[in-house]
Amino acid sequence: MLLQQLLQLLLLVVLYYYHYHQYHNNYYQSHYHYRYNYYYYYYYYYYYYYYYYYYYYYYYYYYYYYYYYYHYYYYYYYYYYYYYYYHYNQYHNNYYQSHYHYRYNYYYYYYYYYYYYYYYYYYYYYYYYYYYHYYYYYYYYYYCYYYYYCYYYYYYCCYFC
């Protein structure tokens, strides 16, 4: 998906420079056309600057998404480990043999419970924080995309006039 969009970006850049150089031969015809072309170029530059940041946040969002799932499975690993430990001790009748052993098992369970409770909400927060940023930049990108096409067709209108 990222490769396809980067290829589309490359195609747009090639098309832009082709039409820019084609139009550049006639830029002396009108001071207005030259000035418009100048601002059009700078707008195009800033458009791809935001396009880059959109992909940066897109990558960042997936990084935290993966990181959240990593801790999620890590938590389940410890959850099943605890149950194995609990049933193993119960099966071997070692649970009540020692008050220390029972207490250790009790605090061990609560330590992991609260520790991963904290991690769960911590990455839940990061997940939604970057999810929000991803959609913010996603819609901003589409706004710039359609704004660019508005200028693109306006440029062609001026060119053919």
Taking only the tens place, the pLDDT of each residue in 23-55 is 555 545 555 555 555 565 555 656 666 666 665
Write the DSSP string, the chain: -HHHHHHHHHHHHHHHHHHHHHHHTTGGG-HHHHHHHHHHHHHHHHHHHHHHHHHHHHHHHHHHHHHHHHHHHHHHHHHHHHHHHHHHHHHTT-TTT-HHHHHHHHHHHHHHHHHHHHHHHHHHHHHHHHHHHHHHHHHHHHHHHHHHHHHHHHHHHHHH-
pLDDT bracket for residue 158 (50, 70, 90):
low
Q: How many C-beta atoms surround the C-beta of residue 134 within 10 A?
A: 19
Mean pLDDT, range 137-154, rounded to an integer: 64
- Calculate the alpha carbon distances from 9 to 16, 18, 23, 145, 147 in Å: 10, 14, 21, 11, 16
Taking only the tens place, the pLDDT of each residue in 72-87 is 566 666 666 666 666 5
Query: Is 71 part of any domain?
Result: yes
At residue 9, the pLDDT reads 61
Mean pLDDT, range 123-149, rounded to an integer: 62
Query: Is 24 part of any domain?
Result: no
Backbone angles phi, psi at 119, to 5 degrees: -65, -40
At residue 66, the pLDDT reads 63
Angle, nearest 10°, between helix axes 31-91 and 2-24? 170
What amino acid is encoded at 82 in this protein? Y
Considering its fold, how many domains does the chain have in total?
1
- Calculate the alpha carbon distances from 70 to 77, 106, 116, 156 in Å: 10, 26, 12, 50
Query: Is 45 part of any domain?
Result: no
At residue 43, the pLDDT reads 59
At residue 139, the pLDDT reads 64
Mean pLDDT, range 126-143, rounded to an integer: 61
Query: Is 61 part of any domain?
Result: yes
Query: Is 10 part of any domain?
Result: no
At residue 114, the pLDDT reads 61
Query: Is 147 part of any domain?
Result: yes
Query: Is 72 part of any domain?
Result: yes
Query: Is 156 part of any domain?
Result: yes
At residue 113, the pLDDT reads 61
Domain span including residue 128: 51-161
At residue 104, the pLDDT reads 60
